[in-house]
Amino acid sequence: MGFDMIHGCQAAFRSLLDASSYPGRIVDLSRESGLLDVSAPIPRAALLIALSLMDIEVGYYVDAARRAEAETFVSRLCGARPVPLEEADFIFVLGVERDLARVIRGARGGDLVDPHKGATIVAEAEGLSEPGPLVLSGPGIREERRVSVSRDPGWMAARAEKNREFPMGVDLLFFDSRSRVLALPRTTLVAEAS
């Protein structure tokens, strides 16, 4: 049984919505991404996120070693168009060696009239787990939630700076090699446990 574009994307979208509604909750997209029977220049979890969230009306940017190949592939499947970093609705940071802090600083953060135009950044992590050294608080979290994002921690300061003037800012979706996803909406406060 292969990937069903309609039902597979709907299931993934519901999981992504759940992750965004309850920041720090790690959702598993391995079933749906495992059914993707394609040889892609991007990880299957990132491809599934792109298929579930993007369409012909959005612009996206890819920060990856195989950027041109990834952009051609994603555009063909989703119909979305590649744009410069500062114009992108969605930004894919593929590879844990990529400079996520630089990407966050360069991403569109929206403005006071259109804060919803802040970018969504989809970034690869070595691993995601609960509990961990990062303490999350804010809407969708009862008191606090502790998670671990295995990635260079420089992204946290860049994210805090980009999101300091709410409602402007960026939203983050982290994924790992096991197709697990963790959402950090701009409303979520992130601190390191002391």
pLDDT at 38 over 90: no
pTM, two decimals, is: 0.96
Q: Which positions ≥6 away from 35 have C-beta within 8 Å? A: 1, 2, 3, 4, 8
What pLDDT was estimated at residue 130? 94
Q: How do residues 50-104 score in pLDDT, each as one tens digit? A: 999 999 999 999 999 999 999 999 999 999 999 999 999 999 999 999 999 999 9
Token pair belonging to 68: 């041109």
Strand order in the sheet with 171-175: 27-28, 180-184, 171-175, 120-124, 90-93, 59-63, 81-82
For the chain, percent of residues with pLDDT exceeding 90: 93
Average pLDDT, the chain: 95
Residue 69 identity? E
List 175's β-bridge partners, or say none: 124, 181
Provide the pLDDT for residue 40. Answer: 87
Given a contact cutoff of 8 angstroms between Cβ atoms, the answer to whether 24 and 141 are in contact is yes
| pLDDT score at 69 | 95
What is d(CA 157, CA 67) in angstroms, rounded to the nearest whole number?
26
What structural domains and CATH numbers belong to the chain? 5-192 (3.40.50.11310)
pLDDT at 76: 93
Which pLDDT score is estimated for 194? 78
Per-residue pLDDT tens digits for 143-187: 999 999 999 989 999 999 999 999 999 999 999 999 999 999 999
User: Residue 56: what pLDDT?
Assistant: 95
pLDDT surpasses 80 at 1: no
